Amino acid sequence: MTRRRTDEKKGGSPRILSGDLLRRWWFWLLAASLLGIVAYTQLTRSGQTVGSSTKAGSSPAQPSVPVTAVAAKKGDIGIYLIGLGTVTPIATVTIHTRVNGELMKVNYKEGQIVPKGYLLAVVDPRPYEAALLQAQGQLARDKALLADARLDLERYRILAQQDSIAKQQYDTQRYLVKQDEGIVKLDQGNLDSAKVNVVYTRITAPVSGRIGLRLVDPGNIVQTTDTTGIAVITQLEPITVIFTIPEDNLPAVFDKLKAGARLPVDAYNREQTKKLAAGSLLTMDNQIDPNSGTVRLRAEFPNKDHGLFPNQFVNARLLLDTKRGTILVPTAAIQRSPQATFVYLVKADQTVTVRPVRLGPTEADTASIDEGLSPGDLVVVEGAERLREGSKVQLKGQGSGSSPKGN
């Protein structure tokens, strides 16, 4: 027991110190390895950052933007007044019977185009033909009585000159002749009235136009007091459009009309994408609407193709004047900002610059420029959304064959 403790005292302590040093050595070795790994990682990241910074700092040249450009040109452009209008026929006629009787025949088809004087319907003419015959007989009888009275008057005149009869008898015969003459005139009037009634049994179209839907069928009794009528005819050739313009434009239009100028008017559909008809200004109203501050104008259209339909809504474009010798560009070239209106002008070095412009009248897809451009200047009409001041461009198309002009 004593030796073992002595051995443990002598030899146990060095063995314990040797194990502790070994653990410490492994600890420092592991720590050194971790530090090396961290340092290597930092150096690697630093190198990548430097490389990225170098690439970012190189800023390679921006690519050219493909655009389409058109050369500004000098030309004429119309000054138009546009107003919403309604197609209004010159005549819309509701056909009524002018005699009473049975409707014997309807001689039209619904929607048919009928000329003036076309036979539309027939009312039973037999009662009126009988009345005409009576009037003719009455007139013939009274004419015979008148002739006899005139013969007696002539006899009485000779006898009165010879003092063979009393003057009173001659005067009585003279006034009897006048009475018979009045009766004959009355009979003649009755005869003419009977003839008119016979004519009225044949109902004809008073104007040329399109006939509407049938309102009465054959077999019905029609009367002059009926409110619905037999048919409705709307005149289509020519036809008019009533439209409005602001009262501020009235003096210019009035001066043109007073000078005898013919002002063209075009009718377009609601979207103003399709031209329906071409005509001219006919007249204007005699007063301004105080509620809307507008005045009504009437334009006339030949309407040979029936492109305008009664009560149709259209956009009327009145050509008030023509501006000649102005600079014209497509409306697609016009750019707008809160500060100004501008275009992208293509320079000789194939870059663009922002050019402020002052707009004039526009017509369809063409705009006039009052200030800011000259003939031959190339303006961008397609691809402008990717441009800014100084952008490099590549022309895909170029109008008028002109080369860009430098500043």
Q: Which fold has domain 66-78+324-401?
A: 2.40.420
CB count, 10 Å around CB of 118? Answer: 17
Please give the CATH architecture assigned to the domain spanning 125-200: Orthogonal Bundle (1.10)
pTM: 0.65
Q: What is the pLDDT of residues 346-385, one digit of tens each?
A: 999 999 999 999 998 888 789 999 999 999 999 999 988 8
Q: What average pLDDT does the structure give for the chain?
A: 86
What is the pLDDT, as a whole number, of residue 57? 44
Q: Which of 22-31, 234-243, 244-253 has the lowest mean pLDDT?
A: 22-31
What is the pLDDT, as a whole number, of residue 27? 67
| Alpha carbons 160 and 387: distance in angstroms, whole number | 121
Sequence spans of domains, the chain: 1-60, 66-78+324-401, 125-200
Residue 183 has pLDDT above 60, yes or no: yes
Q: What is the pLDDT of residues 44-61, one digit of tens each?
A: 454 444 344 434 444 455
Is 164 strand, coil or helix?
coil
What is the pLDDT, as a whole number, of residue 196? 96
Q: Could you tell me if residue 372 is left (phi over 0), alpha (psi between -120 and 50 degrees) or otherwise beta?
A: left
- Residue (of 402, 404, 274, 270) closest to 346 by Cα position: 404
Q: What's the DSSP call for residue 386?
A: G
Q: Tokens for 7?
A: 């051995």
